[in-house]
Amino acid sequence: MTSRIVVIGPGAIGLCVGAALMAGGHEVTFLSRQPFASLSVARKGDPVQVVPARVVTTPDRPGECDWVFLCVKAHQVPSTAEALRAAVGPRTRLAILQNGVEHLENVAPFVPANTDCVPVMIDLPATRHQIGVAEWTRHARASVPKGPSGEAFCALLEGSFIAASVSDDWRSQAWRKLCINAPAGAILALTGQPMGVFHRPGVAEIARAILAECIAVGRAEGAQLEDAILASQMQDFMTADPNAGNSMYEDWRAGRETEWNARNGVIVRKGLAHGVPTPVSAILVPLLAAQNTRSTV
Ligand SMILES: NC(=O)C1=CN([C@@H]2O[C@H](COP(=O)(O)OP(=O)(O)OC[C@H]3O[C@@H](n4cnc5c(N)ncnc54)[C@H](OP(=O)(O)O)[C@@H]3O)[C@@H](O)[C@H]2O)C=CC1
Ligand SMILES: CC(C)(CO)C(=O)C(=O)O
């Protein structure tokens, strides 16, 4: 069955997911801040195909639809309030594709309380090279909570390059992803260097400390995070392509606001609420916040 889907935020994730939905025959409209007419999404090294894209640039234009895929950075959610009002009707399902663990809290102020929201853990290393053009690499996975809406989400992507699955412990999936994003995002954004910086003296120790704090706070929040994550995640960091970046690094490089609060601030905020100490994150978070103000005072 063809669904009418509005993708809010045609960045790296929005373009990739939108292309997967279009390939499945769905009617996809991108709500963009800048116009574009065609879409080109490919796995790194694969041939590029250009297809026409349906795009609107006015927030009140998307109109009510079956699904909204919200693909903006966590701190950009408030700016989509008008678009959400226009696109989310009583029968619309809202998929929130974000890093972090606060998908539902982030959208709650902007949609009616009974909105059918599907938080999505998206593991899809992707870059938007220019408007309408994105490339992804390594793997493409999405995880949503088990239930009718989660299953409907997976059905939309069935047969596409994105492997979507339901989880009966989605909270743990989101925290596991944060175990990647919290150390790697903070360290790459603060040093302005790709993954090879983990081999500089002392850097791996800082990453390990952030990771340990993330695990401790995640457990206090009810996530199942086994001890072995510490070693296996550190191993992944240390064996990563030294030239690889991540979305927070890309934002820093482009002079855009970074997702420091959703990825690192959250560890301090939720740690405080549970009485879990997070001394290393507490030092790094003000630096990450300051990096975004570019204050001249
Ligand atoms: N990139 C990656 O590899 C991965 C990213 N993620 C997560 O997915 C989420 C999206 O990230 P990503 O795709 O990288 O981000 P991008 O910055 O590439 O894309 C965000 C897009 O949203 C647009 N946007 C922002 N505000 C609005 C608005 N009010 N109305 C319409 N469009 C808007 C931006 O437009 P404009 O261009 O005009 O600024 C941009 O096109 C984040 O939470 C990220 O952490 C998760 C896994 C991997
Ligand atoms: C680490 C990565 C690439 C994994 O999907 C990611 O989440 C990001 O860059 O934000």
Residue range 86-119, pLDDT digits in tens = 999 999 999 999 999 999 999 999 999 999 999 9
How remote is the CA of residue 296 from the centroid of ligand 2, in Å? 31
Q: Indicate whether residue 19 lines ligand 1 (CB < 6 A).
A: no
Q: To the nearest 10°, the Cα dihedral for 213, 208, 248, 43? A: -120
Delineate the domains of the chain, giving CATH numbers in brackets.
Answer: 4-167 (3.40.50.720), 170-296 (1.10.1040.10)
Alpha-carbon span 297 to 288, nearest angstrom? 17
- How many whole angstroms separate alpha carbon 128 and alpha carbon 108? 28
- In this predicted model, what pLDDT tens digit does every residue of 167-203 receive, in sequence order? 999 999 999 999 999 999 999 999 999 999 999 999 9
Determine the Cα–Cα distance for residues 284 and 260; give it in Å rounded to an integer: 10
- 94 contacts 5 by C-beta, under 8 angstroms: no
Atom of ligand 2 nearest to the CA of 247: 9
- Given a contact cutoff of 8 angstroms between Cβ atoms, the answer to whether 27 and 4 are in contact is yes
Q: Which residues carry out catalysis?
A: 177
pTM of the model: 0.97
Is the distance from the beta carbon of residue 181 to the nearest atom of ligand 2 less than 6 Å? yes
Q: What are 130's strand-pairing partners?
A: 133
Q: Which atom of ligand 2 is nearest to the CA of 249?
A: 9
Residue 66, SS3? coil
Q: 217: CA distance to ligand 1 center in Å?
A: 26
- The CB of 76 under 6 Å from ligand 2? The reply is no
The residue whose CA is least distant from atom 17 of ligand 1 is 11
CA–CA gap between residue 99 and residue 245 (Å, rounded): 15
Question: Do residues 167 and 146 touch, judged by C-beta distance below 8 A?
Answer: yes
| Residue 98 Cβ < 6 Å to ligand 2 | no
- State the complex-level ipTM: 0.98
Rounded mean pLDDT of 47-68? 91
The response to whether residue 143 sits with its C-beta less than 6 Å from ligand 1 reads no
